[in-house]
Amino acid sequence: MISLGNYNTLVIQRFTDHGAYLDGGELGGILMPKTYVSSEMRPGDKVRVFVYLDQQERLVATLERPLAVVGDFAFLEVSWVNQFGAFLDWGVMKDLFVPFGEQKRKMEQGNSYIVYIHIDKETQRIVGTAKVDRFLEPASSRTYYRGKEVELLVWQRTEMGLKVIVDNRHAGLVYNSELIGTEPRTGERLHGTVVNVRDDGRLDIALQRIGKGRFRDFAVELLEELRQCGGFLPFTDASAPEAIAERFGVSKKTFKRAVGNLYREHRILIREDGIYLEKNAF
């Protein structure tokens, strides 16, 4: 069965002047244009191709790798706009269509937007929508738990923090208190950690590890920073949280915990002007 808007491994049936025809089962032969045909290919060979619809709504196969596939949330740029909607560059020859009715606000050429790629039930065409909320699923506490590492797509800014899409499936929020240093931008892909699973299935997310592992990891980084800086860093209990975040990308709480651990392990000295690396720690 062909997975439209996704990757398929298909068998080459025959070659023509237009390219290679691949076995699409009940759907018949699927053309892979000659641009993608190499001299090493033979009938009976298997090829992994992306299958979508061409300008005439016919199935076509390509060796190009799209930026996203059906079922993905993605951050894509608008290539052009006409009276029907916007067309987004998703890495293959035919742009992804987003009808005006599926736009939260009118999309503009050159701008990029978070969209969900799916197959329209009425037309059976591959389309995008900026109204992504209805495609997000509640997260289960059986699968997600405090400390679980996840993949994030930064979605949009709110007063409470950054909305993110978690593991290409669930809604999450990084609270303002968790945003340290340079704030991620819409469309960035990051790693995060689950802090809490809410009753409604939404996830509270931290951009750093949580728990003891978080402090151990930063303690190792801090030791390396000290070595690279000749054994001294001008940071103390009086240092501003903003200065610590800008220099190390962590909160002042994480910084102090790591410093305390290293001091108890006799790996650093704490003085009025900063922290010094013990000689035996070089």
Identity of the amino acid at 8: N
Q: Residue 195 — pLDDT band, cuts 50, 70, 90?
A: confident
**Confidence at residue 210, expressed as pLDDT on a 0 to 100 scale:** 57
- The dihedrals phi and psi of 141, each to the nearest 5 degrees, come to -70, -15
Displacement of CA 87 from its chain's centroid (Å):
21
Per-residue confidence (pLDDT) for residue 229, from 0 to 100: 87
- Mean predicted lDDT score pLDDT of the chain: 91
pTM: predicted TM-score of the whole model, two decimal places: 0.76
User: Is residue 212 predicted with pLDDT exceeding 60?
Assistant: no
Phi-psi map region of 201: left, alpha, beta (phi>0 left; psi -120 to 50 alpha): left
User: Which pLDDT does position 147 carry in this prediction?
Assistant: 83
pLDDT at 214 over 70: no
Instruction: Assess whether pLDDT exceeds 70 at residue 105.
Output: yes
Would you say residue 181 has pLDDT above 80? no
Residue 213: its H or E element: helix 212-228
pLDDT number for residue 236: 83
Which pLDDT value is given to residue 135?
A: 97
**Pairing between strand 6-16 and 19-23?**
antiparallel
d(CA 51, CA 54): 10
Q: What is the pLDDT of residue 209?
A: 63
Contact 25, 59 (CB under 8 A): no
State the virtual CA torsion across 254, 256, 258, 260 in degrees, nearest 10: -150
Residues forming beta bridges with residue 277, ordered by sequence position: 268
Residue 114: partners with Cβ closer than 8 Å, 6 or more residues away: 73, 74, 75, 130, 132, 153, 155, 156, 165, 186, 187
- pLDDT tens-digit series, residues 245-282: 778 777 788 888 888 888 888 888 999 898 998 876 65
pLDDT over 80 at 180, yes or no: no
Helix (H, G, I), strand (E, B) or coil at 81: strand
pLDDT value at 112 more than 80: yes
How far is residue 47 from each of residues 12, 24, 95, 196, 209, measured CA to CA in Å? 7, 12, 23, 43, 40
Range in 51-65, 166-180, 211-225 with the lowest mean pLDDT: 211-225
**110 backbone φψ class: left, alpha, beta (φ>0; ψ -120 to 50):** left
The 274-277 sheet, strands edge to edge = 232-233, 274-277, 268-271
Distances (CA, A) of 99 to 42, 85, 111, 203: 40, 4, 16, 30
pLDDT at 211 over 60: no
Mean pLDDT of 166-177: 94
Tokens of 43: 């009938």
Of 112, 107, 77, 83, nearest to 95 by C-alpha is 77
